[in-house]
Amino acid sequence: MSATDWYAHKSLENGVFWIQERFYESGNRANIWLIRGSHQDIVIDTGLGLRSLPEYINSKGLLGDDSKRKNPLLAIGTHVHFDHSGGLHQFQQVGVHKAEVDALANGDNFETVTWLSDREIVEDPAPGWRARQYKVKAVTPTHILQEGDVINLGDRQLTVLHMPGHSRGSICLHDKENKMLFSGDVVYDGSMIDWLPYSRISDYIHSCERLVEMVDKEEIDQVMPGHYNTFGSKRLHRLASNYIASAGACHRASTCVVKSIASLALRASNSRSAC
């Protein structure tokens, strides 16, 4: 299957494109965001990487032919989980938070929580393809990100916000001028996952408190999440507030049990795949 068949996109306002993998039918299917800038273009998250994302972007002319854009396309992972980082190796410039640099550079498929089944891929990307063969390919990041870094696209700037909890290197990218938040898996319109190997509830609470504060300060109008549909500031406030309110002792105890089971399952799965 060609890259042009595998992906589909929708053009949004302000030079933003929403890309998805058409034949990955799962709640884990990540949103891929392409943002055009006057001097630099950026991809936020890259999906599974089963087909070439750069090839799709180029074949569809999503970057245009502006000669002022002299820098190679920059791919940023909001975190290194497989559904977001699988295609990072396809790009010349790659950025992730410093807490997850080693996981990506070493191809650590435990920390990337690689968990893919044949039934989620409804059209094989290549003849004979099987999910058990899938791994996140190692790539050494060229951009090591941390809190407060500013990614300059020329006519717009994105500020890196370290928001751990879902994973230890989870980030959001905040377009202050346009009041847009690219939130990765820190928050989306669904249940927040805090039971993975490197999840931490106390960190998640702090990250949600930051999100509530940003809404209260009217710094966010629109959220471009890692999964599902976009939403506004009121919904963001409700999602973050609900998580804070629910993260009590009972939640922590039950999450601890689920986290242990998930860690064992991930280690067993990746051990079999390596054989």
Taking only Cα atoms into account, the Rg of the chain, rounded to an integer number of angstroms, comes to 18
Q: Rounded to an integer, what distance in angstroms lies between the CA atom of residue 194 and that of residue 225?
A: 16
Rounded mean pLDDT of 79-108? 97
Q: Which CATH class is domain 3-272?
A: alpha beta
User: Which residue blocks in 76-185 are alpha helix, DSSP H?
Assistant: 82-85, 101-105
Tokens representing residue 105 in the block: 């550079």
pLDDT score of 272 more than 70: no
pLDDT per residue over 123-161, tens digit each?
Answer: 999 998 999 999 999 999 999 999 999 999 999 999 999
More confident residue, 208 or 65: 208
DSSP H or E segment with residue 19: strand 16-21
Q: What is the pLDDT of residue 249?
A: 86
Q: What is the DSSP letter of 226?
A: S
pLDDT per residue over 177-234, tens digit each?
Answer: 999 999 999 999 999 999 999 999 999 999 999 999 999 999 999 999 999 999 999 9
- Whole-model pTM: value is 0.93
More confident residue, 79 or 273: 79
Find, among 199, 188, 189, 201, the residue nearest to 266 by Cα.
199
Q: What is the pLDDT of residue 70?
A: 64
